[in-house]
Amino acid sequence: MGNELKDINREYFEGLSRAFGGAVIFALPILMTMEMWYLGFYMDRLRMALLMLVLLPLLMGLSYEVGFRPEADLLNNILDSFSAFGVGFAASFIFLLAFNVISFNMPLDEVIGKLALQTFSLSMGAVLSRGLLGGKKPRERTRSRLMHYLAELFIMAAGALFLSLNLAPTEEMILISFKTSEWHALVLMIISLFLMYIFTYSISFSGREEIPEGTDRKSIFLRFTVTGYIIVMLMSLYILWTFGRTDGMSAKQILMACVVLSFPGSIGAAAARLII
Amino acid sequence: MAEENNGTRKKPGKIKISPVEWIAAGIGAALYIFCFSYILYSAAVHDSTPPSLIIREDEIIKADQGYLVKITAVNSGNMTAEGVIIEGALMQGTSVVERSETTFEYVPGRSKISGGIYFTHDPHKYSLSLRALGYEEP
């Protein structure tokens, strides 16, 4: 009996360290981006609270999709999500302290703000790594086509959110949206759609179910690529709003900023479907 | 019935949850609740008073190009000031002997940031006036 407990504990510890490693791999660029540190202390607190609220179902959904234990029930997902947050927070604390981005003589508000913002991405990395770096293939699930489709959309949203988070705070994003004309934006949109479409077609080398034979290309384009891009645009808008980048901007400027941010977002969405 | 050793046990019922998992999840949940509540509290209490900057002279030391006046910018307002231009002027009576300036990228609300301004003249011999010239909202 004692042995089994030790085994389970050890297995979980391994999972935790994988989660830590994965968190760092995924979120390292964000950890070392100064705009993210600054956003941590000046970002609107209510919007940050909303971001934290969004994080929980996001983590639970990812945990479910990525999970290598298909028998996992709701309780397991909840535990997974919270421990991922804990791992992310710990990583955030360790590295921000090591970089002297937070220190003990800073006001608590600044420290918590910086930590919480970094933990968002770090905890996503932690959840993803438990399934991806474990070397175990996700088991095939049987579920309805609608649920499967919604799951695909969710994964695209998560991927878009993740890459948008990486890039939205930077100065370069704003700069690009100033430098580009409407024609450039149009080109960007077309490239984004094209790349998403191509990625969809190479879906067969992931663990996901393959596209059934004889599926109409147009159908895929509409259902996944175009819908996916809309989702990516919505995620871009949400992130830009969260970081206060839409305040005081005209509708056209906001649209341009969304298109620019949706380029990495769409790559994130497409990649997420391949990886997860 | 052979059990695989790599951990992919197929259990007929619920998965056994290790105690460590409960602890890790518990700590995570506690941290989450703490962060969330604190952020909400901060949002409620946060009356946005504009940045109020005071520049303090800390120390004067000899530097390669002359003299270095170490300063600290203190923001007693709640809001963050970005791109704070700080000017130091060495005065003899009412005439300015030398002007020098520096820019602090961010001075967060209710915080202080330290830096320095260089002069070629010896600040000890004159009266030093330090002030913030302006800032930007982030």
Residues of A in contact with B22 (CB under 8 A): 79
Q: Exposed, middle or buried, A250 (CB in 10 Å: 0-12/13-18/19+)?
A: exposed
| CB neighbour list of residue B60: distance below 8 Å, 6 or more residues apart | B67, B68, B69, B70, B123, B124
Q: How many whole angstroms separate alpha carbon B79 and alpha carbon A165? A: 23
Q: How far is A204 from chain B (nearest CA, A)?
A: 24
Of B18, B29, B46, the CB nearest to A8: B18
In this prediction, residues A195-213 reach a mean pLDDT of 63
In this prediction, residues A188-208 reach a mean pLDDT of 75
Q: How many whole angstroms separate alpha carbon A85 and alpha carbon A268? A: 21
Categorize the per-residue pLDDT at B8 as very low, low, confident or very high, splitting at 50, 70 and 90.
very low
Residue A265 pLDDT exceeds 50: yes
Single pTM value for the model: 0.81
In DSSP terms, B119 is beta-bridged to B67
Q: Which 3 state secondary structure label does DSSP give A149?
A: helix
Token duo for residue A57: 């179902």
Q: What's the pLDDT score for residue A146?
A: 85
In this prediction, residues B132-138 reach a mean pLDDT of 88
- H or E stretch covering B59: strand B53-63
Residue A70 pLDDT exceeds 60: no
Is the CB of A153 inside 8 Å of chain B's CB atoms? no
Cα angle value A19/A21/A26 (rounded, 5°): 90
In this prediction, residues A226-241 reach a mean pLDDT of 94
Residue B14 pLDDT exceeds 60: no
Is the CB of A73 inside 8 Å of chain B's CB atoms? yes
Residues of B in contact with A92 (CB under 8 A): none
Q: How far is B75 from chain A (nearest CA, A)?
A: 12
Highest mean pLDDT among A9-18, A207-216, B41-50, B79-88: B79-88
Residue B11 pLDDT exceeds 50: no
Categorize the per-residue pLDDT at A204 as very low, low, confident or very high, splitting at 50, 70 and 90.
very low
Q: Return the residue of A nearest to B9 by Cα.
A: A69
Q: What's the pLDDT score for residue B1?
A: 45
Please write the tens of the pLDDT for every residue from B103-130: 999 888 888 899 999 999 999 999 999 9
Q: How many whole angstroms separate alpha carbon A92 and alpha carbon A215? A: 45
Categorize the per-residue pLDDT at B5 as very low, low, confident or very high, splitting at 50, 70 and 90.
very low
Please write the tens of the pLDDT for every residue from A95-148: 999 999 999 988 898 999 999 999 999 999 998 887 666 555 555 567 788 888
Inter-chain CB proximity B17 and A79 less than 8 Å: yes
Categorize the per-residue pLDDT at B86 as very low, low, confident or very high, splitting at 50, 70 and 90.
very high
Q: Which 3 state secondary structure label does DSSP give A136?
A: coil
Q: How many whole angstroms separate alpha carbon A76 and alpha carbon B132? A: 55
Residues of B in contact with A116 (CB under 8 A): 35, 39
Q: What percent of chain A has pLDDT over 70?
A: 86
Inter-chain CB proximity A84 and B28 less than 8 Å: yes
Please write the tens of the pLDDT for every residue from B45-62: 877 788 889 999 999 999
